[in-house]
A and B are shown apart, each in its own frame.
Chain A
């Protein structure tokens, strides 16, 4: 199935204790877990529910309500296509279409080899460079459909 991030209960406990086990820091705690593991394993959520005495339904809602969280493992490379208004007006939807065709996945999905995860974002704040495609934190500006293939084939 691919790599399942080995979940370290101690590490989860550490993160929770750092926030003094306060239920109001629930979202902050989940953000840290997501940032470290690149997804939210089910066991992590159950542990958080137990330690913070917060119902699992609330955690489940938060984990699905917010875009920052993923309940499935992410690929090795995360592609973010900006779909902000300025980028949209400059042609971002066509860039997205092409990337979808090239990778075989739609936004929110990860491919079977766990190579690429695709996500749309609502504004990266680099509107002067629009349309923008960001891969693993690296920004590629002034994107057109024809350029996407060349950029993506550099990643393995």
Chain B
């Protein structure tokens, strides 16, 4: 690769790359993000390469392994260009047909297309599928068109033009002004105005400054940063270099959690390629600006994603947050001005510089401009990553894009913001999702995780889950968080086990207050959010657990019993055979009875009973009916025939 020494040379290079690419040449893009890989896209890729070779099409067809397409529920995903035909849930055995029918004969294979569940219509083009049609994929959209390990792919779609524009046509102050004008707010959770954060560092009187990418993404259920880094690492790099230029930093760090090996690998490749072209290093694009970046891996601690903790980890010390009152953009890494931003925040920067703040502010609401990538997971039909403008109604995300709740179940709540966030109930489905609206409702944006819950989810159990997570992940340094969470967890566990007492809710509220007011860092301060938001919207569930020893959602193991309805049982023996505790008594025409002493509440019988019988029930808050007398258990032949 030749080192590019000026913006003009960059454009020459870009023209050269594009001239060698024929937009009409068939290209098969295959999603190779981590989730699709887990679904088997690696085998599909191997199959594709083999089949194309076999059919002698190596020179006529390109195969591009791209990053995450976002529609994770339907992976592995293939999109055939230039027609943009989308095929879903592809197995290796479908590959020969795809190559011979669609590539060679330009024929669409109907059974591989997406079927709209409401109209039963088959949709050919990926972008017309409701999941995609209702999104605004400004940041995430390019994932489907580029191979993340090829910097030339990124250049072909206009990559690094924002960098050239910033370094050659704008002063650092002008770049800063543009970012401020855009009103971009941090996408990692804090929602702090990015321009203001940069300005603080820019004005800090220190020669040495740092820029940092926070790719620790600790919220369970959130994986947009991962998909961005895996699928389009250069977008983040470009934003980082522009930011460094704006504040006057010459060194940067990308802190990636080690649980993301593919992201670590792809970022490493991207950095190497950027260095070879001269987008990193000395005198970038002939501007006189120097900048280098290093990758550091996390080692498995949620709290280390907090900015001061992350910087402490970068210094080689235990990644605990610092009890300080001077912002890290003034005194951060090694006590120098340090701008730490989330992956998604950095990825927005090249767009803002290229298209201008004026373009950016068209999207979103008054207080929250631009788009946000959400990970829509849990009890939802279309699990995946969605990007929508701020201000999109929650119900559109869940129903129009998410396709609603599986199994026809009722929506109960959506948890946003991870363990620091809260639950939004059904009565707030019209909420227009942005930073301030979520905070008003008692939750927060966080990094963008949206965990959907249905009528079978016990809200008290969900809170107990989050508090358990936090007791493990808390830094453990300060009393209100460590000890507060310890006691909260005991109380919540007691409640879910039927040992809750009057006054427990008030005690939880009191511990919450202390954690919010006196904790050392944001983990402790936000830990009570799940508790407080569920007490606000689902207090009746807490009270049922405490007063009636009942779990309304029929979920808490200690409070439910499994019972076979003798009127519905057809004695088919399926549950009896599958029961891992051998707790079901019965026979071929003898109605089954669960021995409550032996039952481990694993739920296998509930899943196993054929839906047309539906004989297994869950009971809570009342005693299990006594077994019917032995004689009544025999199903006579006549009964069955009737």
Q: A residues within 8 Å of B by Cβ?
A: 22-28, 30-31, 54, 58, 61-62, 65-69, 83-86, 88-91, 94, 97-98, 121-130, 132, 139, 141, 144-146
Contact A128 B301, CB 8 Å, known A86-B221, A141-B38: no
Contact A125 B316, CB 8 Å, known A85-B220, A85-B451, A145-B580: no
Among candidates A67, A91, A127, A145, residue contacting B383 with C-beta atoms closer than 8 Å:
A127
Q: Which of B47-55, B292-300, B336-344 contacts A (4 or more CB under 8 A)?
A: B292-300
A67 near B299 with CB under 8 A, answer: yes
Q: In the bound complex, how far is the Cα of B223 from the Cα of A132, in angstroms?
A: 15
Contact A146 B316, CB 8 Å, known A84-B220, A141-B38: no
Closest 5 CB pairs of A and B: A67-B300, A84-B220, A125-B223, A66-B299, A86-B377
Contact A127 B223, CB 8 Å, known A24-B316, A68-B258, A94-B602: yes
Binary per-residue interface labels of chain B (555-589) against chain A in the complex, 1 for a CB within 8 Å, 0 otherwise: 00000000000000000000000101000000000
Q: Does B218 contact A (CB under 8 A)?
A: yes
Among B39, B218, B375, B378, max chain A CB count under 10 A is at B378
Q: In the bound complex, how far is the Cα of B603 from the Cα of A126, in angstroms?
A: 24
Contact A26 B316, CB 8 Å, known A89-B462, A128-B377, A139-B38: yes
Q: B residues within 8 Å of A by Cβ?
A: 34-35, 38-39, 72-73, 75, 218-223, 226-227, 258-260, 296-302, 304, 313-319, 375, 377-379, 383-384, 415, 418, 449, 451, 453, 457, 462, 465-466, 469, 578, 580, 602-604, 607
Given contacts A69-B299, A122-B302, A128-B73, 18 further A-B contacts (CB under 8 A): A24-B314, A24-B315, A27-B319, A58-B317, A65-B301, A66-B300, A67-B301, A84-B221, A85-B418, A86-B220, A94-B602, A125-B34, A126-B38, A126-B72, A128-B35, A128-B75, A141-B39, A144-B607
Among candidates A90, A123, A129, A141, residue contacting B379 with C-beta atoms closer than 8 Å:
A90
CB pairs A–B below 8 angstroms (11 shown): A24-B314, A27-B299, A62-B299, A66-B304, A83-B469, A85-B378, A85-B415, A86-B377, A128-B72, A141-B39, A144-B604
B38 near A89 with CB under 8 A, answer: no
Contact A27 B313, CB 8 Å, known A122-B218, A146-B578: yes
B35 near A125 with CB under 8 A, answer: yes
Q: Say how far A143's CB is from chain B's closest CB, in angstroms.
A: 12
B299 near A88 with CB under 8 A, answer: no
A122 near B220 with CB under 8 A, answer: yes
